[in-house]
Structure 1
Amino acid sequence: MPPRRRLFAGPALRALRQRHSLGQAAMAARLGLSVSYLSQLENDDRPITPMVSDALAGAFPLDWNPADAGGAAHLATLRAAIADPLFADLPAERQSLERAAEQQPGLAERFVRLHAAYRRSEEQRLIADEAIGSGVPGGGRLPWEEVRDWFHDAGNYVDPIDRASEALADTLDAEPIPDALLIHALKTWHGVDVVASGDETTAHPLRRFDRARGLLTLDRAMPQATRRFFLAHQLVSLSLADVIAQVRHEAELVSGEARRLLSVGLANHAAGALLMPYVRFRESARACRHDIDRLCQRFGVSFEQACHRLSTLQRPGARGIPFFFCRVDMAGNITKRHSATRLQFARFGGACPLWIVHEAVAIPDRILVQLAETPDGVRYVSMAKGLVKPSGSYTRSPRRYAVALGCETEHAGDFIYADGLDIASRAAATPIGISCRLCPRSDCDQRAFPPADRAIAVDPDLREVVPYRVL
């Protein structure tokens, strides 16, 4: 057996300590090391041992990324794959995984690739099952579904656009970026004037851009955070037009409408990245344990915008917590969704009725939390809040919906909304599913439809909550 490679990562370790504003004594105490030993590690006088690497991963789970691109990379991906409940009966100790990754790196890589292919096939099977169960002919995708799935496949993060927006934010050099500065940039950089809509008794588009006249008209009734977002949207649409066009050109979309929708979606992504620049937003989110109200105050954005931005923090080498995010309307339709976790949303129809997001729609401006468990045994901490967007007139109904944000329980310590939940209790978790048609649970009192892939039995002389038994 070839000798185990020793890992020297002094500069990475020192950069990690400085990024968290820790002195050597504080860092050593956090890792359970002596100051002299830590100094030797930072100066590459000693290698990073597996025990030290484990301590770093425990203390800095989102930041510790060993500079070794070989065995450590294989080990990280192998550990992520084997965390799937599908392999619950397999040994997951670090020593066993290290041995597999180091002795058989090719086999470890193929195992990871096979698992990724399995997850993709499962997602495709769920999509097909939903299409059959929902009656959608052929499971064909509408233009907005094409774009939604494109963002999902991209991990809800578009690196060239995100980085270009961050550079643009550095140019503006303000936090939060005020409306006046965005209006000034539109005028001086692109010759665009901004005006508010006129007659308040008449419904107006939220945003209208007249390219020939260089005139941007915004509905005067919209909330300030929405107005700021539309100003940012227009600025990045013009300032980053070439970058957006290149990404759109490389996207494999079928219809012209889908490509135009993608342009809008990319501009929205860029607007969020302009108002909430990646590095500063990620650091602020971690410092306040992802307290969304505090993030809204610092960056001058809405609750929904901050939640959405948290779900996009997937930059390689500087990832945020893997979150799922969705928006649900009064009818239970999922109108916006993304998941960086193992939780996947229903492609057709609504979400599980046991999920707290449905209750949040009916209770605006109150944050609800929930510990939930999916049929595969993975548990999540969910936060949901009902929101109301005013219309500006009694004659126009306000928009009512709820947003939800959540993560797997292994990140609960960094998610302020998990405080007070009994994470360790198995009985405390609410059993949820993707949707009734895809959920295998046979004892759910809230089931609306039987599973699409299971037979049922009906006993005329027996009635329980639902009039059948799932076989």
Structure 2
Amino acid sequence: MAKRRIFAGSQLRNLRDGRGLKQSEMAVLLGISVSYLSQLEHDDRPLTPTLIEILSRDFPLDWQEFEEDTTTRRFAALREAASDPLFSTPLSVDQLTRIAEQQPALADQFVALHSAYRRTGERLQIVDEALSSENAGGSRLPWEEVRDWFHMAGNYVDQLDRAAEELATRLMGKSISPSAENIESYLREALAISLIYSANAGLRQFDQEAGHLVIDQSQPAESQRFQLAHQLVALALLDDISAIVEAAGLRSASSRQLLFVGLANYAAGALLMPYNQFRLEARSLRHDIDRLRQVFGVSFEQACHRLSTLQRSGARGLPFFFCRVDMAGNITKRHSATRLQFARFGGACPLWIVHEAVAIPDRILVQLAETPDGVRYVSMAKGLVKPSGSYARAPRRYAVALGCEIEHARDFIYADGLDLTSPHAATPIGASCRICPRGDCDQRAFPPSDRPIIVDPDRRDVVPYRIA
């Protein structure tokens, strides 16, 4: 079989220019000579499998756009699946290359099998945690069912995302995101909705028969705009949303109604932060949330959540995990496009920076963390306070966290200044005490559910038992 020959001179030059690197600096990163790099950039020589491996490893976000060749995409998917901590010995670049080129059907089946393995593990975790949370029947409450639907959908709904992006194009004009004024005009003129801003009406109240919408004027401007966007997509994209709800197979009317609300919120975010514009801007700003929210006129949380949804095939964003934690440590929103999976019941690991962030609003905290499987993550967390608009109502306090695996640190501005190379720099965290296998954690609240404990009356450590 003929070896594939990949010439990517213009892509390499664009990558190097985008990073502001000289040829000598780029050559050092690739482990080649300057003359060799020059030949590559002028398409005098093709990329080798080793160089493809280095580029996909060190520049994953940039390199994924160059993977036009079917075998190259297969190689990338195979490399990702084979790097699972489940396998103690990783396959070499040469082995991966031979499998991708000489056994394409086997490679595709391996990738599909690994994907099914991960999905099955996630479903088993749902059942296991339901049983351990005294839900013996394994049934889920409506909000749990909807949360798990979004998780299994990868937190990306292609049909709805594209419909919202198309609608945004009609509303944006020359701006990068639809303005509140343009959304208001569309509601009034295209959908015949009357609109008023008033206090004490809830965040949003819509009278469907009268076609009357009331928005709480005490909300911050970005929250008011989001509520407008929610109502617009709930009406303009009604058929798309309803079709998705119908196909979801949820068991109760409450679950279906909650899913409708969740999908309308998803579409509202996609309307205000259209996929392609948002993804390109996020990359150029190295995923700086404060700058992104200024560009698109959204809240800090809205920008974080949108980053976690950029999973469109062929144009993926950085794979993030995202969650929101309240003052009691409960995770009220969660999604992960990384190998990190949150516990579905209870709170998060107490060693995770997000808990400190709740107590320190409006300050960004960063952390390098390592999970029990040895994977390292860069986390950013910020405490937020949502005003209630009245002294009689307490403001809502919570924190949001966003993070990625260490291999993407180059594209995540919050990794700047962290020591990513020291073996002792990472904080050891787990998903939750109930499923964390670490036996030497001083912050453990209770033992893992699948391990017995050993109690020694004559010995007392910080934790009054040892994990067997």
TM over 0.5: yes
Amino acid at match of 2:87: F
Question: Contact 2:287 / 2:413 at 8 angstroms: preserved in 1?
Answer: yes
Q: CA deviation at 1:34?
A: 5.9
CA RMSD, aligned part only?
2.4
Q: Is the 8 A contact 1:356 1:384 kept in 2?
A: yes
Q: Which moved more, 1:74-83 or 1:302-311?
A: 74-83
Residue 105 (structure 1) aligned with residue 104 (structure 2): yes
CA distance in 2, matches of 1:327, 1:276: 20
3-state SS, counterpart of residue 137 of structure 1: coil
Q: Contact 1:30–1:59 (CA<8 Å) still a contact in 2?
A: no
Paired residues of 2:323 and 2:331 also in contact (CA < 8 A): yes
Report SS of the residue matched to 1:420.
Answer: coil
Report what 1:187 is aligned to. Answer: 188
The residue that corresponds to 1:169 in the other structure is 168
Within 5 Å, give how 1:320-469 maps onto structure 2: 320-469=317-466
Q: Distance in 2 between matches of 1:389 and 1:329?
A: 12
Contact preservation (8 Å) 1:129, 1:438? no
What code does the residue aligned with 1:94 have?
Answer: V
> Partner of 1:272 in structure 2?
269
Alignment of 1:32-431 (within 5 A): 38-40=41-43, 48-51=47-50, 53-54=52-53, 56-57=55-56, 60-64=59-63, 65-69=66-70, 71-90=71-90, 92-173=91-172, 174-198=175-199, 203-431=200-428
SS at match of 2:187: helix
Paired AA for residue 422 in structure 2: S
SS at match of 1:253: coil
Match for 1:214: what amino acid? G
Q: Is the 8 A contact 2:201 2:214 kept in 1?
A: no
Q: Deviations over 1:85-116 (max 9, x none)?
A: 122323x3211211122233333333323322
1:348 is aligned with what amino acid?
F
Cα offset for 1:344?
A: 0.4
C-alpha spacing 1:145/1:17, structure 2 compared with 1 (3 Å): farther
Q: Distance in 2 between matches of 1:275 and 1:15?
A: 31
Cα distance in 2 for residues equivalent to 1:235 and 1:28:
52
- CA distance in 2 between partners of 1:84 and 1:260 (Å): 37
CA deviation vs aligned residue, 1:251-270 (integer Å, no higher than 9, x gap): 22222221111111111111
Is the Cα–Cα contact under 8 Å of residues 380 and 406 in structure 1 kept in the other structure? Answer: yes
**Other structure's SS at 1:138 match:** coil
Q: Secondary structure at the residue paired with 2:352?
A: coil
Runs of 4+ that moved beyond 6 A: 15-23, 25-29
Distance in 1 separating the partners of 2:458 and 2:181: 71
Question: What amino acid is aligned across from residue 363 of structure 1 in structure 2?
Answer: I
Query: Compared with structure 1, are the counterparts of its residues 212 and 372 closer, same or farther at alpha carbon in structure 2 (3 Å cutoff)?
Result: same
SS at match of 1:368: strand
SS at match of 1:87: coil
The 1:263–1:9 alpha-carbon spacing in structure 2 relative to 1, beyond 3 Å, is farther
Over 3 Å counting, the alpha-carbon distance change for 1:16 and 1:147 in structure 2 is farther
Between the aligned partners of 1:185 and 1:437, the Cα distance in structure 2 is: 50
Report the alpha carbon displacement of residue 20 of structure 1 after superposing the two structures with TM.
9.6
How many pairs are equivalent?
456
CA distance in 2, matches of 1:169, 1:300: 14
Query: Cα offset for 1:358?
Result: 0.6
Q: Which runs of 5+ in 2 are unaligned?
A: 28-33
User: Alignment partner of 1:62: what SS?
Assistant: helix
Aligned CA distance change for structure 1 residues 364 and 252 (closer, same or farther; 3 Å): same
Q: Answer with 265-274 or 96-105: which moved more.
A: 96-105
Shift of 1:197: 2.1
Q: Distance in 2 between matches of 1:170 and 1:433?
A: 42
Deviations 1:393-440 (A, max 9, x none): 111000000000000000011101011111111211111111111000
Q: Please, which moves more after superposition, 400-409 or 92-101?
A: 92-101
AA partner of residue 105 (structure 1): P
> Aligned partner of 1:110: which letter?
Q
Query: Would the aligned equivalents of 2:7 and 2:43 in 1 still touch at CA under 8 Å?
Result: no
Q: TM-score, normalised by structure 2?
A: 0.91
Q: One-letter code of the match for 2:342? A: F
Write the distance in 2 (CA, Å) between the matches of 1:22 and 1:176.
Answer: 25
CA contact (8 A) 1:9 1:66 kept: no
Q: Does the aligned pair in 1 maintain the 2:49–2:97 contact within 8 Å?
A: no
Task: After TM superposition, give the deviation of residue 49 of structure 1 in Å.
Answer: 3.9
Distance 1:15 1:257, change over 3 A: farther
Amino acid at match of 2:309: T
Which ranges of structure 1 fall in alignment gaps of 5 or more residues?
A: none
Amino acid corresponding to residue 283 of structure 1 in structure 2: L
Report the Cα offset of residue 196 of structure 1: 1.6
When the two structures are superposed, what TM-score results if normalisation uses the length of structure 1?
0.90
Residues in 2 aligned to 1:253 and 1:16: alpha-carbon distance in whole angstroms: 47
Secondary structure of residue in 2 paired with 1:336: strand
